[in-house]
Amino acid sequence: MFVLCPAGLRFYEEIKLAQGEPIQRTENLVRSYLNTEQFRSTYPDAYEKWQCAEMKLWGDDSERNLTTIGHLCREAMQEFAGVLVRQMGLESAHPERTKTINRVLAVFDATASSKTDRVLLESLIGYWRATNEVVQRQEHGGKETEPLTWDHARLSVFHTLLIMYEVDRVVRSS
């Protein structure tokens, strides 16, 4: 164990503040977590799908790829949920890959150990549902009355990233 002196803490604060605005710092933290070898090796297909969606978001033809971005985010969530149920030995009880909410719920049921955990997990399921709806709309956006925009695609990519980050952290800490 080591102890940081006040000068070291100030230096750390300066480094963090130099990394941009609060939202940028938070997004960078989440992105760096998903870029770790541990996440990429645990969820390789989910990471690859999300990364493809993110690359299409920033590509010069992103407007033509709005529904593809949604599709890739949906597949990332499906792959992610699939790994979770396999790790917990729950795949036979929840074999349908498109039922990501049921799969994640089953994993949460198997890992929740306290009332506090249960409250957090229930809020994450609500967030998973909301992200799933955003992604579904993105994938099937051509059927909506309101046309898709680049910002809708950004929402899909960002929230897919964030929900995978949060669920993985909670499951690993259980």
> Structural domain boundaries of the chain?
44-173
What CA–CA distance (Å, rounded) separates 20 from 171? 30
Report the run of H or E that residue 67 belongs to, with start and end: helix 66-87
Q: Say if residue 17's pLDDT is above 70.
A: no
Q: How confident is the model at residue 45 (pLDDT cuts 50, 70, 90)?
A: very high
What is the chain's mean pLDDT, rounded? 86
Q: What is the pLDDT of residue 11?
A: 64
Q: In this structure, what is the dihedral angle of CA atoms 52, 136, 99, 49, given to the nearest 10 degrees?
A: 0
Pick the CATH number of 44-173 from 2.60.120, 2.60.40, 1.20.120, 1.10.3470: 1.20.120
